[in-house]
Structure 1
């Protein structure tokens, strides 16, 4: 599916884990295992009656139905090996088969075995049964939705730049405007006619001094030197057309030189002025980082606000800003680094923290692409993961999409290999056994340290006592 519809980009599936028949079955079996572990002796008739009454209350399910419904629990088949546990009881008429006591064990052994089996049943239920069923239901529902995924990608809306994106801005034409004033250091081309006439006896050097035709440097004081025959004229800050009028007026006026010579006073001088270099004062080219305030720097031309704009809008804003400093400004704009839009990968540490990794959003990433950037799953991660998509402002509804990692990697099924959007969170759950091990270690470690300190202190005291008792006379015995 290729499109720009918002519905395709915003549709999500919410996965809610609900207890099913597997959980109910294993809880019932665990309860019957625990109750059946109650020792029954001939001298305690009240306890035996209590156990039989409890077993009648707990629903009884055929073992074959349980095995067919929960194929992931091979531990339940071990119940056949322990017929002395009386899991379903002889008094139950709902069991299609009978139990014969073939193993004689004490009440203590029966209790230990029953509790172990009950613990394994509940652990298996929490580890696979409920989650797997909910995951399959959610995946089946998401396969019928229009959520973009691999082989059915959607077009991303027009990208809007934001801090700290890096833009590539190139000024195509860098020409000074016609109204730009002449500055010190500029070269101007000045041509003048109807000035001092040539004398036939003048040498070539004298003729050259009487000629005004060439490039002239504007000095630091803003004047241009026309040679010893005509003197200097201040032209800084004036445009080319204004300089023409200034020079024509200057040449029409008589001036007295320092050497007492009079120059100027020409009747109809003709002056032409142009810039030798029409290039702009500074070339705009290269990388431009969007500042936290949303502006980009254009050097001596100042700054322009571009945050939240598309590339076309950025181009228009930059050209409009350069209009006063560059003649017919034309720029090319592109995004060099997509830094503002991110994808978050959160890895559960199993009770010892969570690791967050950010990836830049470029528009075509899928779940598999994102996990490939962190080299797949960590040793403590499970294959239980989902995408949490940001909900609209003002809503508290979670938008989650489950991910079937095995189907994506081993089977090549693209149903849950979703196309990622800006702000998506991929949460990777930790392995339940690793989390349990970390929890047990966290709980027992303080007590282990206390007991270790007690044992160390006890051993030290005994060593001191034994050293004192084994000492000999003369004061030479003892620990020291």
Structure 2
């Protein structure tokens, strides 16, 4: 029995020795992988730092629309929550009226253009642009108009209506529909007046009408009763293109109000932030 016990202990010794060798080999392979990874990272070039955001740029003199040199804004683009005025009528073929026009032969009939409102439910009135960018025309369904000009929106409504079954039954074609679209309330194009005082910042939002200047923006508004005095005014204008810097337009408020100088009485654009802050004593 003694030799059996001795044989068992020898076998156990060989087993532990084998496990130790395997463990040492695994540790060696792991270390080799770590060394290779460290060498690869050392050879890799350092990442290029991200470029700093562009600093606000002062607009060159004479390049910004202002009093006495205003520009027409581009065609209005509809967005929520604008309020639209929509009118749709049908244009019928010319018909003989049975009347005789002055200055024409008695046997020459007078022809006139006849227009009718839509059947079932007329389209006439104010329609808000919903958050999804569409307007609801009741029985006639919804028409997406966000991102369109007024002319494009009229065309989209015309095509939409001509495809509806009730008008198909009447034989109404798209070209016989007269669609008029205008803006009743310019709710999506706004500028902001930010007044900073000891109590903090107050932000006021106003619709852009297309011709107002800084003086117009800060006058005749009950919310802005303390703009004058020791105040500093400037405009922060967002860039037209993503790669362009923010524009800062300093405003000489005293020159505008006291001497009538138009040079810094800038035309207000949609999205402008007009800052009004107390100047240093």
TM range, smaller chain: 0.5 to 0.7
Residue 8 (structure 2) pairs with residue 160 (structure 1): no
State the distance in 1 between where 2:143 and 2:118 align: 22
- Aligned match of 1:310 in 149, 173, 176? 149
Following superposition, the deviation at residue 429 of structure 1 comes to: 1.2
Any residues of structure 2 matched to 1:137-156 within 5 Å, and which? 142=61, 145-156=62-73
Q: 1:331: Cα distance to partner?
A: 1.6
What is the RMSD of the two structures over their aligned residues, measured on CA atoms?
A: 2.6
SS in 1 for 2:230: strand
Distance in 2 separating the partners of 1:316 and 1:169: 12
Q: Is the 8 A contact 1:295 1:304 kept in 2?
A: yes
> Contact between 1:383 and 1:406, CA under 8 Å: does it hold in 2?
no
Instruction: Tell me the residue number matched to 2:89.
Output: 172
Partners of 2:73 and 2:242 in 1: CA distance: 24
CA-CA distance at 1:383 after TM superposition = 2.5
Provide the TM-score with structure 2 as the length reference: 0.63
Q: How many residues align?
A: 193
Q: Give secondary structure in 2 for the equivalent of 1:331.
A: strand
Residues 1:419 and 2:267 are matched in the alignment: yes
| Whole-angstrom CA distance in 1 between matches of 2:120 and 2:260 | 58
- 1:319/1:377 Cα in 2 relative to 1: closer, same or farther (>3 Å)? same
Whether contact under 8 Å (1:149, 1:418) holds in the other structure is yes
Q: Greater Rg, structure 1 or structure 2? A: 1
Cα shift readout 1:407-441 (whole Å, capped 9, x = no counterpart): 101100000000011000000112435xxxxxxxx
> What secondary structure, in the 3-state scheme, does the structure 1 residue paired with 2:153 have?
helix
Query: Could you list the runs of 5+ residues in structure 2 that have no partner in the other structure?
Result: 1-55, 93-115
Bigger RCO (CA 8 Å, 6+ sep): 2
Contact 2:227–2:276 under 8 Å retained in 1: no
1:363 matched to which residue of 2? 210
**Matching residue of 1:330:** 178
Contact 2:90 2:117 in 1 (8 A): no
Q: 1:430 to 1:171 in 2, by over 3 A?
A: same
- Deviation string 1:182-205 (CA, Å, 9 cap, x unpaired) is xxxxxxxxxxxxxxxxxxxxxxxx
Is residue 89–residue 117 contact of structure 2 (8 Å, CA) maintained in 1? no
Q: Per the alignment, do residues 431 and 171 of structure 1 end up closer, same or farther by CA in structure 2, a change over 3 Å counting?
A: same
- Deviation (angstroms), 1:379: 6.9
Residue 409 of structure 1 corresponds to which residue in structure 2?
Answer: 257
User: Equivalents in 1 of 2:81, 2:117: separation in Å?
Assistant: 35
- CA deviations on 1:94-129 (whole Å, 9 max, x unpaired) are xxxxxxxxxxxxxxxxxxxxxxxxxxxxxxxxxxxx
Alignment of 1:321 onto 2:160: yes
Matched residue SS, 1:173: strand
Residue 300 of structure 1 is matched in structure 2 by 139
TM-score scaled to structure 1, two decimals? 0.38
Match of 2:188 in 1: 340
- In structure 1, runs of 5+ residues without a counterpart are 1-12, 16-137, 176-276, 434-480
Cα contact 1:364–1:420 (8 A) shared by 2: yes
How far apart, in 2, do the equivalents of 1:171 and 1:320 lie?
Answer: 12
Cα deviation for residue 279 of structure 1 reads 5.8
- Check the 8 A contact 1:174/1:280 in 2, yes or no: no
How far residue 381 of structure 1 moved from its aligned partner, in angstroms, is 6.7
Query: Which digits, 9 at most, give the CA deviation of each residue in 1:308-327, with x for residues without a partner?
Result: 10111011000111112332
Separation in 1, partners of 2:237, 2:261: 22
Quickly say closer, same or farther: Cα 1:148–1:394, change in 2 above 3 A: closer
| Distance verdict in 2 for CA 1:295–1:356, change over 3 Å | same
- Which residues of 2 match residues 35-74 of structure 1 at below 5 A? none
SS in 1 for 2:76: coil
SS class of match (1:286):
strand
Tell me which of 388, 391, 397 is aligned to 2:236: 388
Q: 2-side partners of 1:396 and 1:159: how far apart?
A: 23
Contact 2:256 2:265 in 1 (8 A): yes
Q: Quick one: structure 1 residues 297 and 406, their matched pair in 2 at CA, closer, same or farther if it must change by over 3 Å?
A: same
